[in-house]
Chains A and B, each alone.
Chain A
Amino acid sequence: MNTIDSTVFIVDDDEAVRDSLALLLSLNGFTTRTFDSAEYFLAAYQSEWAGCLVLDIRMQGMDGLELQRTLNARNSRLPIIVITAHGDVAMAREALKAGAVDFLEKPIDDQLLIANVSIALDRNVQERSVAARSAEREQKMARLTVREREVMQLVAAGRHAREIAAELNISPRTVEVYKARMMEKLQVRNIPELIRVVLDAENAFR
């Protein structure tokens, strides 16, 4: 997974701005796709899209802030770079509060735009790999039985087989069996690896 699969989605109701941004970004090696309204973008939007969004705030119909809210509500991970021709501090603050990467004023400084697009794409790649790893981990965890999960918690907490057996009221041999099956299902080879998986899972819940 890398930035090559990523697309810069440009949403602006001004045709010339849209066209020139797409040209500039594609010449800089980015894949682009343009939309002339927030409504069109939403209609086409797929949750697995990778990349980032360059979004004009003031548009006829649904404006940029509204699109940002809608995407947030749909748990979209596309980072958003907000652009405006209208130096509007209040809107900028709102967009940044809602998680926008940055706020650029038209006429747009191309260096700044490209830097921001790169940052946004990197962020998207990272977030998606984190998301992919946690999805994989959760898939593995889901395969554990209740007992195996209990054993996993106790092993990760540093208990010995005998202590676990006493706590769960089963024989140490049985504990060893559960432990072996659990480690196999989680595809970990040793205790340190197991501890990392458990910690990751806990962090993900935080």
Chain B
Amino acid sequence: MKNLTYLAGYFVLYVFLDWVSYIHPVLPLAITPWNPPPGLSLALLLLLGLRYWPALFFATLLAELLVRGLPAPFPYALLSSLFLTVCYAGAAALLRGPLNFGSGFRTLRDLFVFLLVASGGAFLAAISYVSIYTYAGIAPEEAYLANLLRFWVGDMIGIMVVTPLILVHAGKGIALSKPGKETLAQGVSVLLALWIIFGLEITDEFKFFYLLFLPLIWIAMRHGIQGATWAVLVSQLGLIGAVMLGSHHTTAVVELQFLMLALAITCLFLGMSVTSRRSVEEKLQAQAAELNHALRLAAAGEMAAALAHELNQPLSALGSYARSCRLMLSMHPADMERINETMDKMGREVGRAGEVVRRLRDFFRDGTLRLESMDVPQLVDEGLEPLIREIESKGMALHVRLQENLPRVQVDRVQIATVLRNLVYNAMEAFANTPDRPCDIHVTAASSGPDWVNLCVEDNGSGVSGEMLDKLFSPFATSKAQGMGLGLSISRALVEAHGGELWAEALVAGGARFCFTLPAEKALQEQQ
């Protein structure tokens, strides 16, 4: 049903185009300087399928009757229509079949193949048509070559204007990017070029034709093949309009069509190469986005695993405490003091579990941080407090050096404390392979310019190789997720969510330094 509508549209449009383009005909052959209907026919067969080839025949015949008034006796019209149909259906079959053209312009090869086949088809069509009419005695023999050439260029320019336009936009609708100022300027520049070429008495059409190249190249560069097809159409219509308004000799018009054909081909190729380069870029971008998504999923998975681990600890303790309380209550006499003490511990574990859940919620609230104004020393204290005993018990030394008068920072205290702890844990793990050395961990904070506070965790442990430095932050590299070790990738994500950066440096003396920046409060307020 839909195809039937298309078919009806084809007939109407065919006759209409033939009628519109019926200017400057070379009588009695009725060869016009531009002939768009074959372009429409090719588009029809390429889009809907070869089985519609009879439509070509009838449309040609119909147009011959209605528009041209049957310049030759009917049998000749019949024969020429048949030949034209065979030529263009053959071209379409060649494109769809062995040449694997598909039905759209996706690569430069598509355009190249199309150009070759179309010009071959148009050439055969020209030979058949002109030969038949010359044989019939309607066309003068001495004008055979000239007629051949006119027919060919008329059909070619018709095809190059119409078919790419339809194929490029078929299925996508007319998806022109919003006509902004640039598009307007481009349209104006095409008209301006046409006016200079044809409107000014002092300029010679042929000498100044090259001016039309400039706006067309501009359009093709900016809008790719889609823009190029429209630019070619507009220029061609403008050219035909100018020719109709002026008093041009038919020969001049045909010569102009050769120039126009060269322009159209140049413009289409330029647009095609812009489009194909852009689609490659888009594909790369899509792949990068996919990878990014996968990385984020991996980071979320790692986060979830780490949080599940942290949640299971207090839950396990709670279970054991509860069971213990029950046992103690069943004893005679019950040790009430010890029971009370255990219940207090249970309360603390519930609080701890709640904190983990809150952190989980914060993390998955998609970037919304619970920001509060914090003093840097307080932040560092809170982050390191749970670790101090462990550091000392392992015989490591923790040196905290904070610059005086640091600006306050706006941070999510749980997240930044997690980052800081994570970095210190990493530093502690770095000593695993260096048992016989003094283990020093330095935590420093300093302002970095007026807008940033720079926090660093430095160790003199086994260090990080340059190669490892690059891989350090990928979630795949840190998949071991030891203990509560949220991977470095997550730490980095958390810092970046605050607007800061996290990076690692290998130290010459051995050991590594991990630093991250936090925006100072003042700078943040200015941003907002």
Interface string of B303-335 (1 = CB under 8 A from A): 001001110111111111101100110000000
- Contact with A86, one of B305, B324, B394, B432 (Cβ below 8 angstroms): B305
Instruction: Report the bound CA distance from A39 to B396 in whole Å.
Output: 14
The residue on B at minimum CB distance from A86 is: B309
Q: Tell me which of A16, A59, A60 contacts B349 (CB under 8 A).
A: A16
CB contacts (< 8 Å) of A63 on chain B: these are 482
Q: Is the interface of A mostly helix, strand, loop or mixed?
A: loop
Please, what's the 1-or-0 string for A55-68, where 1 marks a CB less than 8 Å from any CB in chain B?
Answer: 00011111100000
Query: Is A21's CB within 8 Å of the partner chain B?
Result: yes
Q: Which residues of B contact A19 (CB under 8 A)?
A: 317, 345
The reply to whether B318 and A86 form a contact with Cβ atoms under 8 Å apart is no
Q: In the complex, what distance in Å separates the CA atom of A137 from the CA atom of B315?
A: 49
Which residues of the partner chain B approach A59 to less than 8 Å between Cβ atoms? 483
A20: chain B residues within 8 A (beta carbon): 316-321, 324, 345
Question: Would A61 and B432 count as touching, CB distance under 8 A?
Answer: yes
Within 8 A of B (CB), among A58-111: 58-63, 85-87, 105-110
The smallest beta-carbon distance between B337 and chain A, in angstroms, is: 14
Interface presence of A24 (CB below 8 A): yes
In the complex the two chains form, what is the Cα distance from A63 to B345 in whole Å?
26
Instruction: Tell whether B141 is near chain A: CB-to-CB under 8 Å.
Output: no
Any A CB within 8 A of the CB of B428: yes
- Alpha-carbon separation in the docked complex, A60 to B394 (Å): 11
A58/B324 in contact, CB under 8 A: no
Which of B315, B324, B345 has a CB less than 8 Å from the CB of A27?
Answer: B324
> Closest CB-CB distance, A82 to chain B, in whole Å?
14
**Residues of chain A within 8 A of B189, CB atoms compared:** none
Q: What separation, in Å, do the CA atoms of A176 and B327 have in the docked complex?
A: 65
A23 contact set on B, CB distance < 8 A: 320-321, 324, 342
**Residues of B contacting A105 in the complex (Cβ-Cβ under 8 angstroms):** 312
Known: A20-B316, A108-B319. A60 touches B390 (CB 8 A): yes
Given contacts A58-B309, A61-B429, A86-B312, contact A13 B319 (CB under 8 A): no
With contacts A16-B352, A23-B321, A86-B309 known, is A106 near B315, CB below 8 A?
A: yes
In the bound assembly, the distance between CA atoms of A16 and B482 in angstroms comes to: 19
Give the number of A-B contacts (CB < 8 Å).
Answer: 86
Which residues of B have CB within 8 Å of A24?
Answer: 320-321, 323-324, 327
Tell me, in angstroms, the Cα distance from A105 to B319 when the chains sit together: 12
Assess whether A28 is interfacial by the CB under 8 Å rule. Answer: yes
Closest beta carbon of chain A to B388's beta carbon, Å? 14
Residues of A10-31 whose CB lies within 8 A of B = 13-14, 16-17, 19-21, 23-24, 27-28
Closest Cβ–Cβ distance, residue B205 to chain A (whole Å): 80
Contact A60 B319 (CB under 8 A): no
- Which B-chain residue is minimally distant from A108 (CB atoms)? B316
Indicate if the CB atoms of A14 and B313 lie closer than 8 Å.
yes
* Smallest CB gap from B349: residue in A: A16
Q: Are A21 and B320 in contact (CB under 8 A)?
A: yes
B394 to chain A, nearest CB (A): 7
B483 partner, pick from A21, A39, A60, beta carbons under 8 A = A60
Q: Say whether A16 contacts B428, CB under 8 Å.
A: no
Chain A residues near B316 (CB-CB < 8 A): 17, 20, 85, 106-108
Shortest CB distance B335–A (Å): 10
The answer to whether B328 touches A27, judged by C-beta atoms less than 8 angstroms apart, is: yes
Chain B residue nearest in CB terms to A83: B316
Q: Is residue B283 contacting chain A, with contact meaning CB distance below 8 A?
A: no
Question: Which residues of A lie under 8 Å from residue B328 when comparing CB positions?
Answer: 27
Residues on A with C-beta less than 8 A from B349 are 16
19 pairs of residues in contact across A and B, judged by CB atoms under 8 Å: A14-B317, A16-B345, A17-B320, A19-B345, A20-B317, A20-B324, A23-B324, A24-B327, A27-B327, A39-B394, A58-B483, A59-B483, A85-B316, A87-B308, A107-B316, A107-B319, A109-B319, A110-B319, A110-B323
11 more CB-based (< 8 A) A-B contacts, given A13-B483, A60-B390, A107-B319: A17-B320, A20-B320, A20-B324, A23-B320, A23-B321, A39-B394, A61-B428, A85-B308, A85-B309, A86-B312, A110-B323
> Which residues of A come within 8 Å of B, CB atoms?
13-14, 16-17, 19-21, 23-24, 27-28, 36-37, 39, 58-63, 85-87, 105-110
